[in-house]
Structure 1
Amino acid sequence: MFKPLILYIGLRYTRAKRRTQFISFITLTSILGIALGVTALITVLSVMNGFEAELRQRILGMTSHTTISGRYGQLNNWRQLEERLQGYPHVEGSAPFVRGQVMVNADRQVSGTLLRGVLPDHEPGVSEVADNMKFGSLDDLQPGKFGIILGAELANFLGVMVGDRVTVISPQINSTPAGILPRLRRFTVVGIFQVGMYEYDRNMALTHIDDAAKLFRMGDSVTGLRLKLDDLFNAPQISRQLANELYRDYRVSDWTKAHSNFFRAIKTEKRVMFIILLLIVAVAAFNIVSTLVMVVTDKRGDIAILKTQGLTNASVMGIFIVLGGVIGVFGTLLGTLGGVLLALNVETIVPAIESFFGVQFMAADVYYISEVPSKLNWSDVYVIASMAFILSLLATLYPAWQASRVNPAEVLRYE
């Protein structure tokens, strides 16, 4: 049998006659079901990709791509190491830092926080904190002035503003005639930053590296060097190369280790969401089963006549596979088009809906990300479209097999 005949008959069955309009309605609902499932899957994954990219940008705005620290918590020859790293492949910037846990006291409010000592002229090369200053600037950190820059949430908790003074208490101790006392120093608030991540806005403070070294009694040493790379996804590979070249004198880590649990949780959530939404596509795809079963029942006479004319069982199966495939193709194409358009315009559509109904899905005073981000990955689109089409074809196998088993003698006995 000439193959185009199978295609011709399969396509002809997609067009409704007056007595089969209900079947065509069921076919239309199957197409729309697949289209809605594919649209939802593409849109949701794009929004999740947008959130992941936004959070990664904010986290890496404060976290270095690669960190080199001393084996015992101090890096003595950091200037020589920094010169050695200048011109190193893929390294775009470096900055020394001093880090330690402290208590910050203002009036009756006390909070534990991470104090990081930085060089104001080096820090913009490895972080974005200078671009997220609400008040003041990094240049206000002067050596010997004991100025401090607080995260916005920390400053709000302590109830301080620029110009106020706070007491920083170090866990290191002083031996005095009155006994053993913790080291403390009065700092002046010279700036407030807000990067949009609670982890940093609530639990981090910055000061000049010289003042931090005095507070922690580190002398001319630092905690380590923070590096910025040209491609953050190459951080594990670059870190391994640096670790091999620097031998055992240094400890090298990268951002994937520092936040591995967080990004692993996001990937797990995306995977679970993909599976859940794919089940919606699967339900819509298997509506094709009921559609084709009804078509097979309606076309039993046609099938019997075709088989008496020499149509093989495989050809009969091919006719209904073509019919189901057409439903899957149209549903997948419509869903892909709708999903891509929706994903590319989420950041415009959501504010319009909020404005029209007078609601706000993500309040700015509750969520740091007050807008719904979206990032369309074409690889996701290809996978979703392929899965939807494959599920549609799988749904055609049972009805097509049932059609191939039609016995012409039994069907035509009473015709």
Structure 2
Amino acid sequence: MKKSVALMVGLRYTGARKSNHFISFIALVSMLGIALGTIVLITVMSVMNGFQSEMQERILGMVPHVVVGQRGQGITDWRALEKQVEKHPDVIAAAPFIDIQSMFKVSNNTRFGLVQGILPVKESKVSIIGQYMTAGSLEALKPKKYGIVLGVGLARSLGITVGDKVNLLIAESATVSPAGISPRTKRFTVVGLFEVRSEHDSMMAMIHIKDAATLTRKGDLVSALRITTKNVLNAQWTAFELRNLLDDEYYVSDWNYTHGTLFKAIKMEKTMIGVLLTFIVAVAAFNIISTLVMVVTDKQADIAILRTLGASPATIMKIFIVQGSVNGIIGTVIGVIGGVALAINLPQVVAFLEQMFGVSVIPGDVYFIGFLPSELHWEDVILIASIALGLTVFATIYPAWKASQTKPAEALRYE
């Protein structure tokens, strides 16, 4: 019964027309502050999620999830190894490749990079490169035709495009003579360009695996098998299981060895930004303290009358907790609705503002994507709403406790 009385009186105090307009203004400011902080938190967390997903797709789409190789010169029978690893339930596909450190030369322009010999039919199953071809296609790579697919950044730095020639200088199969060591040189024709907006655009090229074998004089040997898994974030566990499945002559590694630090840094950055932005909500929530302190002072006579009618200190405390919490609940609800709506439509909103004001928020020639990504995670929304409500309730405890300590006789002495 006391609980219902506290709720009824607390809601009445909240909805009543206040004679003190300054208190009403402070309450409105605290409510809007909570709403604004919640909107900012949800939007920023969604943007961080979007960037993380884009980087995961573009970088980990090019980097092997898991690599299986044979200790020594390379894999002698990659087809048998492919059948063995594809038995694992988490493995989607596997493809052989040959890595070659090379120099790209066009006239007097020289660049260093990585050439990868691939099987085009299998590469499309383990890489996203086929989805980001800006010219030509992987299928244009034919054995003994010596075609090459370049990253857009690498092609731009060399000043070439599809149909042009580029010389590869390979030190791995260099010729030793009395005059010195001469790297092996072979001219290739550019048959395609790709752009995934990562570091691969400026340092990677692809040729047919048979052409790579000819250049390196490896015969049927390949460097390793590239494996794509069902869950890229679980690739470390898949690699561990494959390590136990295969013989000791094979080694297994996953993308965490090469890019794990990058994604750990992104995760830490997301956490730190979330913590810092939470202070916006905290400042707004603690404005409720000043509001309730003034309300308690203004309602001294009302509190005294309630106490003389039999209300306990706990009931008085609950009344003001309800009154303070209502502002926080309203602000949180407004913030969640606004934050979710903005996060879902953020790319369109930013595109509209760019078009209206003629500016570029995310320049495509500077960043790896040319738009502001946003990916809403409902677990983030629930966490942010819970934090906002928790801070609001916590901020009401002290003023409500002070109200419960009011002594009726002293409060009514001068009434």
Q: Fold conserved (TM > 0.5)?
A: yes
Contact residue 304 and residue 408 of structure 2 kept, 8 A? yes
Write the deviation string for residues 163-193 of structure 1: whole angstroms up to 9, x where unpaired: 2222212233311232222222222222211
Secondary structure class of the residue paired with 2:247:
helix
- Aligned pair count reads 414
Normalising by structure 1, report the TM-score: 0.96
Q: CA-to-partner distance for each residue in 1:110-161, whole Å, 9 max, x for gaps?
A: 1110111001111101112122212221122122222211100000001112
Question: 1:84–1:17: structure 2 CA closer, same or farther, 3 Å change rule?
Answer: closer
Q: Which amino acid aligns with 1:175?
A: V
* Counterpart-to-counterpart distance in 2, 1:335 and 1:134: 42
Equivalent AA in structure 2 for residue 265 of structure 1: A
Mind listing any 5+ residue stretches in structure 1 that lack a counterpart?
Answer: none
- Matched residues in 2 for 1:381 and 1:240: separation? 34
Identity %: 49
Q: 1:346-365 alignment to 2 at 5 Å?
A: 346-365=346-365
Q: How does 1:138-217 map to 2 (within 5 A)?
A: 138-172=138-172, 173-197=174-198, 199-217=199-217
CA RMSD of aligned residues (A): 1.5
- Aligned residue number for residue 387 of structure 2: 387
* Deviation for aligned residue 1:18: 4.9
Match of 2:127 in 1: 127
Supply the distance in 2 between the matched residues of 1:294 and 1:72 (Cα, whole angstroms): 78
CA deviations over 1:65-108 (Å, ceiling 9, x no partner): 22111223511121211122344323221110001221111112
Q: 1:209 offset after TM fit, Å?
A: 0.9
Aligned AA for 1:294?
A: M
1:367 shift after superposition: 2.5
Identify if the C-alpha distance between structure 1 residues 121 and 17 changes in structure 2 by more than 3 Å, giving closer, same or farther: closer
Unaligned runs of 5+ in 2: none
Assess if the C-alpha contact under 8 Å between 2:148 and 2:207 holds in 1.
yes
Matched residue, 1:22? 22
Runs of 4+ in 1 over 6 A off after TM superposition: none
Contact 1:76–1:221 (8 Å) recurs in 2:
yes
Instruction: Rate the CA distance shift 1:358–1:123 in 2: closer, same or farther, 3 A.
Output: same
- 8 Å contact 1:16–1:24 — kept in the other structure? no
The whole-number CA distance in structure 2 between the counterparts of 1:91 and 1:223 is 19
The aligned counterpart of 1:66 is 66
User: Do 1:213 and 1:220's aligned partners in 2 also have CA atoms closer than 8 Å?
Assistant: yes
| Contact 2:38–2:384 (Cα < 8 Å) also in 1 | yes
How many angstroms apart in 2 are the aligned matches of 1:411 and 1:231? 66
What SS does the corresponding residue of 1:92 show, helix, strand or coil? strand
- After TM superposition, the structure 1 stretch with the greater mean CA deviation from structure 2, 61-70 or 316-325, is 61-70
How far the C-alpha of 1:236 sits from its partner, in A, is 1.9
* 2-structure distance, mates of 1:243, 1:202: 33
Q: Equivalents in 2 of 1:340, 1:131: separation in Å?
A: 30
Indicate the larger mover: 293-302 or 55-64.
55-64
Contact 1:66–1:254 under 8 Å retained in 2: yes
Look up the equivalent residue of 1:118 and give its one-letter code: I
